[in-house]
A and B are shown apart, each in its own frame.
Chain A
Amino acid sequence: MAKHTLSVLVENHAGVLSRVAGLFSRRGFNIDSLTVGVTENPQVSRMTIVVDGDEYIVEQVSKQLNKLIDVIKIKQLDKADSVSRELVLLKVNADASTRSEIIQIVEIFRGNIVDVSKTTLTIEISGPTEKIEALVDMVRQFGIREIVRTGTIAIDRGNKIIEIDNT
C-alpha cells in the first residue's frame, strides 16, 4: 500500500473535523496522519491527510470527502512535486556518558536540543517523514522515553496554489 497526501480546504467551523474523521472510520479508510490549521483566509482551514491505500481507495476518499458540504476543495499532492514536513519532539535517555554522542547525531540531522535534564535530552526535528524515521532509528539505542509528532503538512512546489473557485 502506498501513502498518498491529500490537501483539503474546509470551512473553519466547529464539527468539521469530526465529519472528516467520521467519514474515514465509516468507510473503512485508514488515516496515517491528519493535521489541520487555519489558512490565510480565517474562514477556511486546511487539512493535510496522509492516506494509506491503493488508487481506488484514494479516489473513493477524495470523492466521499467532496460530498461533505463543509469540504471546499481537495487536491492530491504529487510526492515529487511537493514539499512535506513533520515536526517531532523526542525525549531520549541521556546521561553524561551518552549526551555528547546524541547531540552529534542530532546535529547531523539538523535537529535542535530544546531541553535537557540529568537523565534526558529533548530533541526537536522537522523534515519529511523519511528523515524523521532515520533519526528515530539512530537514537533508539539510547532509549526513547516519549515521541510527539504533528503529522505531515505539505504544500505544492513552485507557484501552484490551491484556489477556491468562486463561481
Chain B
Amino acid sequence: MKITGAEALVKCLENENVKVVFGYPGAAICPFYDALLDSGIMHILTRHEQGAAHAASGYSRATDKVGVCAATSGPGATNLITGIATAYMDSIPMIAITGQVETGLIGRDVFQEVDITGATTPFCKHNYLVKDANDIPRIMKEAFHIASTGRPGPVLIDIPIDMQIQKIGFIYPESVNIKGYKPTYRGHLLQIKKVAEAVKNAQRPLICAGGGIISANASAELIELIEKCGIPVVTTLMGIGSIPSEHPMNLGMLGSHGSYGANNALYNADMLLILGARVGDRAMGAAHDIAKRAVIAHIDIDPAEIGKNIGTSIPVVGDIKESLKKLGEISTHGDKSHWIFKLEENVLKNQKHTEIKMESTTVNPGYFLDRLSGIIDEDTIITTEVGQNQIWAASHLRIMNPRTFITSGGLGTMGYGLPSAVGVKIGRPQAKVLSISGDGSFQMSLQELGTIKQYKLGVKIVLFNNSTLGMVRELQKLKYCGRYSAVILEDNPDFIKLVEAYGFTGERISSNEEIDGALDRMMENDGPYLLECMVDPEEPTL
C-alpha cells in the first residue's frame, strides 16, 4: 500500500520511537501536520519556532533521546536557526524538519522560500533536501543515526511540500551504511596505555571533564577512575553534572568565570587529561601555556577536536565511556594525596569570606542559589539562561547528576533557559524543573510562558532582576571604563503581573531574609511559578 511522503515521515518518527515533536505549523509543512494528527505522537505547539528548537534540545539533554522539532518554510525555518546552532555547539542530538516550497519553484524566490540547507550547513552535523519522496525512509534513518552517534549533533531535513504529498511504498530500512560516516568508538589500546603511564608518572595530574562525559553517559567510569588513581577533576561549563558538585575530588568549573580552585589546579598541574572537552577559549584561554607546563592527553570521539586548540602529546580517538573503562582497568592505584592536599591548602588560603547580611534591600544571588541547593533533590533539573544568571548558577548550584544542568555553553544563547525547560519538563515530567534567568534573557523567550500555560507544565522560574544586561554591564565596567552603553533595561514590566496573566503564581523578594520562606513556597507549589529576586546591578560574577 502506498502512503504519502508526509505519512512516511510520521511513520519514520514512530519507527525511531519519537514520542513528541516540538513545532509550529505553516503552509509548507501542513501535509506533515495533517499526518501527525493520525499518530500517537504528541505535538507541543511553542509560541516561536526558536522555542521549538530549544525545547527539542532541552528534551535531548535531559532524556538522552533525540529531540525533534518542526517548522514551516521560510521564516519558520530561519527561526529554528539559533536553536540548531545552540545544539550544534553543545553537541546535542536533534532532528529539525522543515517544510519547503514546491520542488519546481525552488530558486524562484516564491513566498516563504529560503535556502535553509544552505543556511544551516555551517552549524548542522548534516542536512538533507528531499528531492524524491522515495528517499524519505532512508534519509530519516540516516538522519537519526547521524544525529545520535559519534559526536552527536543536529540534523535538518528540508522537505518540499510536493514531496510530502507524493505517494511512496514505505519500507523503513533496518540499517544504515554511509560510506563517509564511520565514527571510531574503540580507543587505541596502546594510546590508552600511554595515558595510564602518564597519569602514573605525573606528580600533579588533573582531569578536565567536558560535556562528552555526559553525552557518552560515562560519569560512573569517570568517578571510578579518579577514585582509583587519586586524580582531582575540574569541569567545563558543559561538564557540570558529570561528577557530583560535592565529590571531594571535584574542584569545580575552570575558566574565565570558573572557580579559584579549578584554575589553580590547572595552573599547577604537570599532566592534564582532557575528556570530551574541546578546550574552548572560555575554559582554557591560554591553552598554549598550559601545554608548555603539562603533558596533555586528550580523549575525544571527534578526531578534529584533538590538537585543534591545544597541542596534545597523547591523543586518543574513541568513545569516552569505553576508553575510560579500559583506562580504569589498566591503571594502577595511585596516591596523589600530596597534590590534592596542596590544592586544598591553596583554596583555603584564598578563600574570601563575604558576610551575607540578612536584612538587605536586594537579594544576593550567590547566597540565594546556595540556599536553593540545600532544598532541591538530586533529580531536580536546572536550566539556565545566558548572562550573569548562568555563571552564578554554574558556580553555586549543587549539581549531583548528569543531565540535570541544562545550559547553552558553546553558543551562549540568551532566551534558551525558558523554552529548554519546556522540553525538559515534557521529557522528564516527574522531575522538578527550574529555570534560572535574568530579566534580560527572560524577555527574549517569554512568549513561551504561553506554551507552559497551554500544556499545564509545572515549570519554576527564578528571575534575577537587576534591570540591566548584567553580564555586558560588568564587561563595560571592567573593560570600557564604566561607560555603560545600551545595558539598562529601564521601565521593565511588572513581571509578577505578567506571569499571572499566564496562570503562574508569582512572588517577588528583595532581601536575603525572605529567601528561605519564598523558596519553600515555590518548591511546595506544583504549578508554574515565578520567583523574582531583586538584585543589585553592581553584583558581579567575577
Contact B121 A72 (CB under 8 A): no
Stretch at the interface among B96-104, B176-184, B355-363, B406-414: B176-184
Contact A22 B121 (CB under 8 A): yes
Nearest Cβ on chain B to A11's Cβ, whole angstroms: 7
Q: Which residue of A lies closest to B117 (CB)?
A: A15
The A114-167 residues at the B interface (CB cut-off 8 A) are: 164-167
Q: A15-B129, A19-B121, A63-B303 given as contacts; is B181 within 8 A of A69 (CB)?
A: yes
Q: In the assembly, what is the distance between CA of A18 and CA of B181, in Å? A: 19
The B350-384 residues at the A interface (CB cut-off 8 A) are: none
Contact of A22 among B122, B178, B180, B307 (CB under 8 A): B122
**Which of A10, A60, A63 has the most chain B CB atoms closer than 10 A to its own CB?**
A63
- Residues from chain B with Cβ under 8 Å of A167 in the complex: 182
Q: A11-B179, A22-B122 given as contacts; is B304 within 8 A of A69 (CB)?
A: no
Contact B179 A18 (CB under 8 A): no
Q: A15-B117, A19-B121, A22-B121 given as contacts; is B304 within 8 A of A71 (CB)?
A: no
**Which of A22, A67, A71, A164 has the most chain B CB atoms closer than 10 A to its own CB?**
A67
**Is B107 engaged at the interface, CB distance under 8 Å to the other chain?**
no
Q: A60-B308, A63-B303 given as contacts; is B118 within 8 A of A69 (CB)?
A: no
- Residues from chain A with Cβ under 8 Å of B179 in the complex: 11, 72, 164, 166
Contact A60 B180 (CB under 8 A): no
Contact B121 A18 (CB under 8 A): yes
Q: Mark B122-142, 1 if CB is under 8 A from A, else 0.
A: 100110010000000000000
Q: Which residue of B lies closest to A69 (CB)?
A: B126
Nearest Cβ on chain A to B421's Cβ, whole angstroms: 31
Q: A18-B121, A22-B122, A26-B122 given as contacts; is B304 within 8 A of A11 (CB)?
A: no
Q: A11-B180, A71-B180, A167-B182 given as contacts; is B121 within 8 A of A66 (CB)?
A: no
Contact A18 B118 (CB under 8 A): yes
- Residues from chain A with Cβ under 8 Å of B121 in the complex: 18-19, 22
Q: Mark B308-331, 1 if CB is under 8 A from A, else 0.
A: 100000000000000000000000
**Is A38 engaged at the interface, CB distance under 8 Å to the other chain?**
no
Nearest Cβ on chain B to A59's Cβ, whole angstroms: 7
Q: Which residue of B lies closest to A164 (CB)?
A: B179
**Is A68 engaged at the interface, CB distance under 8 Å to the other chain?**
yes
- Residues from chain B with Cβ under 8 Å of A71 in the complex: 180
**Is B507 engaged at the interface, CB distance under 8 Å to the other chain?**
no
Nearest Cβ on chain A to B457's Cβ, whole angstroms: 36
Q: In the assembly, what is the distance between CA of A69 and CA of B155, in Å? A: 11
- Residues from chain B with Cβ under 8 Å of A10 in the complex: 180
Contact B302 A67 (CB under 8 A): yes
The A65-93 residues at the B interface (CB cut-off 8 A) are: 66-73
- Residues from chain B with Cβ under 8 Å of A69 in the complex: 125-126, 146, 178, 180-181
The A45-66 residues at the B interface (CB cut-off 8 A) are: 56, 59-60, 63-64, 66
Q: In the assembly, what is the distance between CA of A59 and CA of B121, in Å? A: 21
Q: In the assembly, what is the distance between CA of A59 and CA of B122, in Å? A: 19
Q: In the assembly, what is the distance between CA of A19 and CA of B118, in Å? A: 8
**Which of A15, A69, A71 has the most chain B CB atoms closer than 10 A to its own CB?**
A69
Contact B118 A70 (CB under 8 A): no
Q: Which residue of B lies closest to A25 (CB)?
A: B122
Contact A70 B122 (CB under 8 A): no
Q: Mark B175-193, 1 if CB is under 8 A from A, else 0.
A: 0001111100000000000
Nearest Cβ on chain B to A45's Cβ, whole angstroms: 12
Q: A26-B122, A69-B146, A164-B179 given as contacts; is B129 within 8 A of A64 (CB)?
A: no
- Residues from chain B with Cβ under 8 Å of A60 in the complex: 304, 307-308
Nearest Cβ on chain B to A7's Cβ, whole angstroms: 14
Q: Which residue of B lies closest to A71 (CB)?
A: B180
- Residues from chain A with Cβ under 8 Å of B117 in the complex: 15
Nearest Cβ on chain A to B223's Cβ, whole angstroms: 30
The B246-276 residues at the A interface (CB cut-off 8 A) are: none
Q: A22-B121, A59-B307, A63-B304 given as contacts; is B180 within 8 A of A70 (CB)?
A: yes
- Residues from chain B with Cβ under 8 Å of A70 in the complex: 180
Q: Which residue of B lies closest to A74 (CB)?
A: B180
Nearest Cβ on chain B to A60's Cβ, whole angstroms: 7
Q: In the assembly, what is the distance between CA of A11 and CA of B181, in Å? A: 11
Q: Which residue of A lies closest to B311 (CB)?
A: A56
Nearest Cβ on chain A to B208's Cβ, whole angstroms: 21
Nearest Cβ on chain B to A43's Cβ, whole angstroms: 9
- Residues from chain B with Cβ under 8 Å of A68 in the complex: 180
Nearest Cβ on chain A to B100's Cβ, whole angstroms: 14
Q: In the assembly, what is the distance between CA of A71 and CA of B178, in Å? A: 10
Q: In the assembly, what is the distance between CA of A93 and CA of B182, in Å? A: 54
Contact of A64 among B126, B181, B304 (CB under 8 A): B304
Nearest Cβ on chain A to B465's Cβ, whole angstroms: 38
Q: In the assembly, what is the distance between CA of A80 and CA of B19, in Å? A: 57
Nearest Cβ on chain B to A98's Cβ, whole angstroms: 47
Chain B interface residues toward A at CB < 8 A: 117-118, 121-122, 125-126, 129, 146, 178-182, 302-304, 307-308
Given contacts A10-B180, A70-B180, A164-B179, 19 further A-B contacts (CB under 8 A): A11-B179, A15-B117, A18-B118, A18-B121, A19-B121, A23-B122, A26-B122, A60-B304, A63-B308, A64-B304, A66-B303, A68-B180, A69-B126, A69-B178, A69-B180, A69-B181, A72-B179, A73-B180, A167-B182
Listed from nearest, the 10 A-B pairs whose CB atoms lie closest are: A63-B304, A72-B180, A69-B126, A72-B179, A69-B181, A26-B122, A71-B180, A69-B180, A64-B304, A63-B303
